[in-house]
Structure 1
């Protein structure tokens, strides 16, 4: 049985769906809700309403369920943190991560997977090659500077995981997840694609006010459809042998806002998804060679298929 923290969330629910499709049983840990999202409607899963910051409550889950593996996808909190809340936010995020690692050790799980982010690569390249758009392999030297809270905590988590894997012998694997969009998602603060799709499905102008920076047509990112992301994480969790501790999870190529807009218009010809020309800076693209070699993963959704599927989902009455 695989325990998935954040298993009712966006990426979490699709990962659970992929694990179930592989014949695994799952127990989902969520702090607030126990209601299954539409992607898991009718699924036979156990749901535990537990705050991973409560160590004893988390460890009790392992006394009720025979947990053999853990996928830790519970988020580190919002991208923007108020100064007066920053210390407690850090304490909660790192405390939850350490509790999950302790649970993995006490339960003797086969593998603990921990979500990281493409954001750890911000600033990783020099000015000379930053605009090259070449895929970033996992052994790319990372910068110590961070542009936001989420990549900061993910870098810290990777270091903690590496240290504890060495000391305890735990099989801890980091997933550096690319920009992810699709059913169950919402407007993302880092990229515009979800907002463009939601607007097209509603027949409205996109609301880009939640973005951390203005969006331009030529802005591009390694963009992966959430069904592919969830399947990749499931494959990493279930692989008999992994040759590395860190894996990029993405599409392996850059998708621009203009690409997304063109794909949307294949389904909604009159969609109002134009953005100003130009770009804010270099494109982050993940090298997914390790993922392909060790799991056989191949993305199944190109941009056009992803946009059509997402719009159909929203038009079917789902609000996210």
Structure 2
């Protein structure tokens, strides 16, 4: 498998996936409408096609221009909860219809490998921790609903057309290139606030926990699914991608302040409605099936992320 199409390849996670694919000698075509992606993130050895995943004609033109695509990594998405609540139709158009458009592109052109970026948001409030892939899905927002719907379409195409499909439910991803303007980017938000001399804001008591996973470990999981030739198509190829450990927000901030040698003096504000209190995901299924595991410790990942933002200033 030498030619891979990556949607959202100019974005935070996508650019790291692209870098790893290039490192492994793959020819990569990036599809990105550049609404949130950055030209700075784009690997110099890839071909960029500025096309929207909701544009069928544009997607077909990309394929005809780059015949022989063997696999698709679908990372482009509307990824914010707030806008999904304000405009669920737009959220569904991007996350559901856009996914269908790509699956149809694969069906029509006999592309047999498809990796889909889903989210822990599909679970909602979980009754048991760690959360396994067998846990009930109760998304709390249109965003979570649209990512779950995308999973179901991906699995259906796998069953109908014998495609190797994988839906990867990402935990809280962090690392270099993450925008501090995203809802999920609490680490990049804290770093920016600290660098600006501001007091970081913690909503609630800071005891809420999340499963923070370094972006390069996410990239390795994506590429493992895409390139593992021993893995057969599955009717339920859903995987958590996580560290299977929980870190509280106040502990996170304490670590950052220690690394940056800044006093830890957060400002506490009222807990936000709908925020999940405790969350971390079981990753044993992915570890067993693909011999994958996260290799970057939380502290090391924080250090590398801080260095990135300091050097960027």
**With structure 2 as the length reference, what TM-score do the two structures score?**
0.87
Taking the aligned partners of 1:215 and 1:161, their CA distance within structure 2 comes to 37
Unaligned residue ranges in structure 1 (runs of 5+)? 209-213
Taking the aligned partners of 1:255 and 1:278, their CA distance within structure 2 comes to 20
- The one of 221, 224, 227 aligned to 2:210: 221
**Does residue 68 of the first structure (1) align with residue 84 of the second (2)?**
no
**Does residue 253 of the first structure (1) align with residue 245 of the second (2)?**
yes
Paired position in structure 1 for 2:306: 311
- The one of 110, 114, 117 aligned to 1:115: 117
1:105 deviation in Å?
Answer: 1.2
Q: SS in structure 2 opposite 1:91?
A: helix
Report which stretch shifted further, 196-205 or 13-22.
196-205
Taking the aligned partners of 1:198 and 1:228, their CA distance within structure 2 comes to 23
Report which stretch shifted further, 27-36 or 112-121.
27-36
> 1:197, 1:307 within 8 Å by CA — same for their partners in 2?
no
Taking the aligned partners of 1:189 and 1:260, their CA distance within structure 2 comes to 16
Taking the aligned partners of 2:83 and 2:21, their CA distance within structure 1 comes to 33
**Does residue 52 of the first structure (1) align with residue 53 of the second (2)?**
yes
Paired position in structure 1 for 2:222: 233
Taking the aligned partners of 2:265 and 2:5, their CA distance within structure 1 comes to 39
- The one of 182, 188, 205 aligned to 1:194: 188
The 5 Å alignment of 1:280-319 reads 282-317=277-312
Paired position in structure 2 for 1:13: 15
Report which stretch shifted further, 110-119 or 252-261.
252-261
Unaligned residue ranges in structure 2 (runs of 5+)? none
1:194 deviation in Å?
Answer: 2.5
Classify 1:109/1:216 alpha carbon distance in 2 versus 1 (closer, same or farther; 3 Å): farther
1:190 deviation in Å?
Answer: 4.4
Taking the aligned partners of 1:177 and 1:5, their CA distance within structure 2 comes to 16
Taking the aligned partners of 1:15 and 1:153, their CA distance within structure 2 comes to 23
Taking the aligned partners of 1:303 and 1:278, their CA distance within structure 2 comes to 27
> 1:97, 1:157 within 8 Å by CA — same for their partners in 2?
yes
Q: SS in structure 2 opposite 1:12?
A: helix
Taking the aligned partners of 1:267 and 1:201, their CA distance within structure 2 comes to 12
Q: SS in structure 1 opposite 2:54?
A: coil
Taking the aligned partners of 1:278 and 1:242, their CA distance within structure 2 comes to 47
Aligned-residue Cα RMSD (Å) equals: 2.5
Classify 1:287/1:242 alpha carbon distance in 2 versus 1 (closer, same or farther; 3 Å): farther
Q: SS in structure 2 opposite 1:102?
A: helix
> 2:174, 2:185 within 8 Å by CA — same for their partners in 1?
no
| Cα displacement string for residues 61-118 of structure 1 (whole angstroms, at most 9, x for unaligned residues) | 1111121100000013532237774334423432211110011112222310111101
